Structure 1
């Protein structure tokens, strides 16, 4: 009978011992895991965009005052953006270019929105080394192709902001944008 009591007693303590051991093992794994999360969160969180960048995730620009043939410069995500109201003549000149002769072949229609072909919206950063081209301000040098001229290394863009001459490898980039009303465009 003593042997039976001993085995019952062992089962009870053995089972309790397993539960206690499981708890200790779980704690031994959970505690370092929680510590790792506490250490990694600030590291990962610092990679998120800062508040000033998030505030500029989208901007609305009033284009009602931009006359045909005129361009303005605005800032989006700490980068210049050119908004240009093309004249019918500038549109005609851009469409007359043989796209197959261009370094970065794109038509004007590919760079504008349907029904709004007169509105050309591009980043104001030269694709060569990141300078800001001239041509958006009143009286600035627009180069021989009537678009933009980069004074840093001589890249020249046409009225559709396509690279025509100079070291720039690509056309001026067209950001994401949409017309939210006939006189407002949302960039971003």
Structure 2
């Protein structure tokens, strides 16, 4: 038998090398394009800076509330009175539409920290300033549709489907809290 003519011979080693090299370069090029794309999806440094806010609690008297801005949203920080704490604990036994105990909603009983946005349509409830209506349950009152929250920020009356949201927070010291 004679060897096939040179134009029909297969140089498999050369073909395997070209396929492997092309595949490797394609993967490297895809990685080079993907890494900056994924990195661009991370929040910018200025966005991360407003991702947390520290609050000095030493300036907030018992019974007083302050509003701070966290991620563009109002956050209510209330230094609760012993009466408000007792009422919140007593209301743990009441049937609620979004059942949560007061102990689940606070890290320390004297401080309540909640996002101040009504869970019905996103209004800002009243009750932060002295003289504002606080509703039947002594917490917050949303005048838009009548939602009422108790001293633990739980939805008690009106169309609000859930409690006021508790943001992530941690006490740094006895008088300093970081939200976010």
1:79 correspondence with 2:73? yes
Alignment RMSD, CA only? 2.4
Structure showing greater radius of gyration is 1
Distance 1:98 1:76 in 2: 28
User: Is the contact made by 2:137 and 2:148 (CA closer than 8 Å) also made in structure 1?
Assistant: yes
Which consecutive unaligned segments of at least 5 residues does structure 2 have? 1-9
Distance 1:137 1:129 in 2: 21
**Aligned to 2:178, which of 169, 183, 186?**
186
Structure 1 equivalent of residue 5 of structure 2: none
Alignment of 1:96-111 (within 5 A): 96-97=90-91, 99-111=93-105
Distance 1:49 1:156, change over 3 A: same
Which consecutive unaligned segments of at least 5 residues does structure 1 have? 1-13
Aligned residues: 173
TM-score by length of 2: 0.83
Q: Cα deviation per residue 1:132-165 (whole Å; 9 max; x = unaligned)?
A: 2222234332222111112332211011111000
Structure 1 equivalent of residue 38 of structure 2: 44
TM-score by length of 1: 0.80
